[in-house]
């Protein structure tokens, strides 16, 4: 796995859980990023924000990413969902749907 700015490149196939934490100003109530991908599927599981009238300062969201071939990418672009982004954290883990 490599990460460059908002692009994740997967070097292993499987299903992954991607958790995104965004800090900034003017965060929108939906906090749904523009997602572009070369993977089979990206599914939003949950998302929360403390935004009131698109003036939030923190947001969390989780996605599953189904990678069917090495080298596939997923881009999570939050620039349209905030006035400014001052910090972010991304956590990625293998996700086993058979445990659910």
Instruction: Give per-10-residue mean pLDDT for the chain (100 aa).
Output: 88 93 84 81 84 79 92 89 89 77
CB atoms within 10 A of CB 64: 15
The Cα–Cα gap between 95 and 41 comes to 14
Question: Is 2-99 assigned to CATH 2.60.40?
Answer: yes
Q: Would you state the pLDDT for residue 99?
A: 58
- Global pTM reads 0.84
What's the confidence (pLDDT) of residue 98?
59
Region of 31 on the Ramachandran plot (φ > 0 left; ψ -120 to 50 alpha; else beta) = left
Domain range annotation of the chain: 2-99
- Which DSSP state fits 70? T
Q: Please give the Cα distance from 31 to 20 (Å, whole number).
A: 11
Cα 22 to Cα 10, 37, 40, 89, distances in angstroms:
21, 20, 25, 7
Q: Judge contact between 99 and 20, C-beta under 8 A.
A: no
């Amino acid at each position: 796995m490599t990460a460059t700015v908002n692009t994740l490149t997967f070097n292993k196939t499987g299903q992954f859980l991607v958790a995104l934490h965004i800090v900034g100003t003017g965060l929108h109530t939906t906090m749904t990023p523009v997602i572009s991908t070369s993977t089979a599927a990206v599914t939003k599981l949950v998302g929360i924000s403390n935004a009131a009238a698109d003036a939030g300062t923190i947001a969390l969201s989780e996605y599953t990413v189904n990678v069917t071939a090495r080298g596939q990418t997923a881009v999570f672009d939050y620039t349209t969902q905030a006035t400014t982004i001052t910090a972010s954290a991304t956590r990625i883990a293998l996700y086993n749907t058979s445990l659910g």
